[in-house]
Homo-oligomer: A and B are copies of this chain.
């Protein structure tokens, strides 16, 4: 069904890391997975007419959005370095907006707000890829695919 070919090449850059050792491992998927969770919770909230489910959705979404924020922060202050800022002058702005959008997703049940959060994380993902992120920070490289 799918073919798994993992690069045998060793990482080529020294990078800083989410655990601050630095271990050198980063991936914006950590933020995206939590943000997708927010999106799906909002979607299910509107599809449901169960009051208990709706009440639970509101606070569980709050937790997932908080985790999203944490993972965005990690990309911002741990992965990205001064040379990346030179390459992407709007780096701070994109990360700031993404963090603030994660806060917004806590406060809303509007699915468009969750989509905006995903779009901002995808911009971070693009900067991570354009700076060699997959090769330098992950042992297993992943790429979005068409089905």
Contacts and interface: CB of A to CB of B under 8 A. Distances in A.
The DSSP consensus for interface residues of chain A is helix
B106 A56 contact: yes
A32 B141 CA distance: 12
A145 B139 contact: no
Number of copies: 6
Contacts of A66: 20
Given A21-B44, A29-B29, A77-B69, A144 B4 contact: yes
Given A76-B96, A103-B78, A146-B7, A130 B1 contact: yes
A63 to B, nearest CB: 7
Contacts of A93: 92
